[in-house]
Amino acid sequence: MHLKVKKEKGEDVRKKLMGLNLLDINRRILSDKDFLFIPVLKEIEIPDTELVEIEGERVPRKHRSLREALKNRLNPEELKLVPRSFDIIGDIAILEIPEELENKKSIIGDALLKTFKNIKVVANKKTRIETEFRTRALEIISGEERKETVHREYNCSYKLNVETVYFSPRLGTERMRIASQVKDNERVLVMFSGVGPYPVLISKKSKPKEVYAIELNPEAFRYLKENITLNKVDVTAIRGDVREETKKLGKFDRIVMPLPKDAGNFLNVALPALKKNGVIHFYDFAHNERESIEKVKEICRELGYEIEILKAVKCGSHSPGIFRICVDLRVL
């Protein structure tokens, strides 16, 4: 099964499929003069694409998947437990090896290094993301002994430490969706900015008047400053708590709130900082778009703000049945 998409939209669709874990990495992306045909693991509806049945082409890799590479090293029961997917941030692969395979983790890490030549470090998740800074403990199981890397997307570079700061490589398309909505001369605030993927891209791809980025984690803030310099963009970075810093900055045309775990508790900070007809991009974890829309509407009603919902999109998956959702809303 392939998704047929116009060439100029191909990269966005590919990244979206990656975020949803639906890209079939064992098959090639095919093309004709105007269209790309992107292999998918199951049926999915994405605007401006069409599901087509065409003959696929397998990727001629020595080992097409991690499981295949491990066929002769693990028994069938163990093989079933090997993670199907993993993230790649820069040249670091991050995966979650189940407890049952604890004594096989260096075999798995080495197989990853051998199969994917762009990977230089393999790290295993040790904890869930639960801290205020949205970070998790990682252990290196193969490759070089480092946790710092440079991740590239949409012609931007982000230096970061995969353990001490939050970064998701699956949100590239979503970040571009936001950046491409920014109009000339807007004042934009990115709350919870992390190492800067939203403010840097917005500043690079659009023509805002000013972009502000607020981040609490000192390590993420240090990388944010470095990434502003690295990408030669004009962004004002502020280290501190959104609750304290936002009110010092005047009014904005657009506020991005990429803290899905808790953004609802910060709408009372964002709404007063918005100009009339200003736009908020509100991130949430929920079962579906409707649930997030209802949440936003209720909080805004309680706070006494009239809003118009512009759009709500699923932009990633969080856990089984729970999605990362962005609600775009205008304050009237």
Q: By CB under 6 A, tell whether 93 contacts ligand SAM.
A: no
Report the length, in residues, of the chain. Answer: 332
Q: Which is nearer to ligand SAM, 220 or 327 (CB)?
A: 220
Q: Report if residue 22 touches ligand SAM, rule: CB under 6 A.
A: no
Nearer to ligand SAM, 213 or 300 (CB): 213
Q: Tell me, what amino acid is at 329?
A: L
Q: Report in angstroms how near the CB of residue 154 gets to ligand SAM at its nearest.
A: 14
Give the nearest distance from C-beta 15 to ligand SAM in angstroms: 14
Q: Which residues contact 30 (CB under 8 A, 6 or more apart)?
A: 2, 36, 37, 54, 56, 57
The identity of residue 50, as a single letter, is E
Rounded Cα–Cα distance for residues 100 and 5 (Å): 41
Strand arrangement, sheet containing 322-331 = 236-239, 210-215, 187-190, 252-257, 274-286, 322-331, 307-319
Q: Closest CB to ligand SAM among 120 and 239?
A: 239
**Does residue 241 bind ligand SAM (CB under 6 A)?**
yes
Q: Which of 37, 86, 198, 323 binds ligand SAM (CB under 6 A)?
A: 198
Nearest CB to ligand SAM, comparing residues 39 and 258:
258
Which tokens go with 31?
């093309």
| Residues numbered 157-196 forming contacts with ligand SAM, rule: CB under 6 A | 166-167, 171, 192-194
Q: Could you say whether residue 132 binds ligand SAM (CB under 6 A)?
A: yes
The binder of ligand SAM chosen from 133, 170, 225, 291 (CB under 6 A): 133
Determine, following the binding rule CB under 6 A, whether residue 215 of this chain makes contact with ligand SAM: yes
Contact positions with ligand SAM (CB under 6 A) in 65-84 = none
Smallest gap from Cβ 46 to ligand SAM, in A, equals 22
Helix, coil or strand: residue 231: coil
**Binding to ligand SAM in span 254-293, by CB under 6 A:** 258-259
Scan for tokens 């190492």, then name that residue.
Answer: 195
Q: Is residue 27 at the binding interface for ligand SAM, with CB under 6 A as the rule?
A: no
CA distance 285 to 256: 16
- 24 vs 174, which CB is nearer to ligand SAM? 174
Closest chain position to ligand SAM (CB): 194
Residue 100 CB contacts under 8 Å (≥ 6 apart), including other chains: 78, 81
3-state SS class at 166: coil
The reply on whether position 252 binds ligand SAM by CB under 6 A is no
Residue 143 or 194: the one with the smaller Cβ distance to ligand SAM is: 194
Rounded distance between C-alpha atoms, residue 86 and residue 89, angstroms: 10
Among 49, 217, 227, 231, binds ligand SAM (CB under 6 A): 217
47 φψ region: left (φ > 0), alpha (ψ -120 to 50), beta (else): beta
The Cα 225–Cα 222 span in angstroms is 5
Minimum separation from the CB atom of position 151 to ligand SAM (A):
10
Q: Which residues contact 74 (CB under 8 A, 6 or more apart)?
A: 82, 101, 104, 107
Q: Under the rule (CB under 6 A), what is the footprint of ligand SAM? A: 132-134, 166-167, 171, 192-194, 197-198, 214-217, 220, 241-243, 258-259
